[in-house]
Amino acid sequence: MSYSEHRFESEDGLSLYYRSYGSGDDVVVCLPGLTRNSRDFEDLAEHLAANGQRPWRVICPDLRGRGRSDYDPKPSGYRPGVYVRDMWRLLDLLEVNRVVAIGTSLGGLLAMVMAWQRPERLRGCVLNDVGPEFPPAAVDRILEYVGRTPPVADWDAAVAEARKQYAPAFPGAPDDFWPGFVRRFWAENAEGRPAPDYDPAVGDAMRKAQSTLRLARWLRRLGLKTLGGMPTDAWDAFDGLTVPCLLVRGVLSDVLTDDIVERMRRRKPDLEVVAVPERGHAPMLDEPLALAAIDRFLARLA
């Protein structure tokens, strides 16, 4: 299935990119992970847009600093509150009043915040391998690599580098899986060599954000629950989820642990959970088990 390509301008003047699949009034927006982009959702978007019983219009944006969207000249703009503001602007420009948000990792956090900020605009959320809390070891692992991938000479070296980093999340994946996987979040740079398709400053911004998180926890202890229109504790955003929610989890994930899932279930008893075997952080959402769960979830919302 073909898609159309579009751009829109953020409130602070950046040119941001998105893909649109299908048509109609039933709309899904797919929000990518920290270093990923709209290409991650190619298979899912085509599947949903071609659904014979209930086709969906699927919007897949590149967050600022990723893919074909502009890099932010101020790395302080690489933070959830700004990403969410960009998404509201996109939906307003498209005149989409209500949407289902599907978010992977960081994108799932954005979906939670959007549902917390404007519950009347969300029909439901699909959270892909993310909860309101990240285990410290997983945070350390992410901080170690994000924005620090060493340069490579060609696509074979890019595949080897990505395979070294992601092999634990895709055990048993055949050799022919990796070239297509890498092309989704790497691209040729100005020198014609492949490189991760995002601004390395995203990593620097995330590392600096750790001090902001400590400040937020301190403010939380003082009783301040919001800061700049964002919750000081992501659990507050999750607890405020009044819309239906599907949680997709990679069984091997170090980001979404069994303990976090159980606490999410206790706090939201209607939470639907599907565990995808042989996947770590994060499922691609093209796995048959994940696709079937998403189809059932969207059918109920429709």
Q: How confident is the prediction for the chain on average, in pLDDT? A: 94
What is the CATH class of 4-135+230-301? Answer: alpha beta
To the question of pTM greater than 0.75 for the whole model, the response is yes
pLDDT value at residue 301? 92
Omega into 282 within 30° of 0, i.e. cis?
Answer: yes
- Average pLDDT for consecutive 10-residue bins of the chain (302 residues)? 93 98 96 98 97 89 98 96 98 98 98 96 98 94 93 97 96 96 96 97 89 62 70 89 97 98 98 98 97 96 86
pLDDT value at residue 227? 64
Residue linked to tokens 């400053």: 201
pLDDT value at residue 42? 97
pLDDT value at residue 51? 81
pLDDT value at residue 223? 65
**CB count in 10 Å sphere of residue 227:** 14
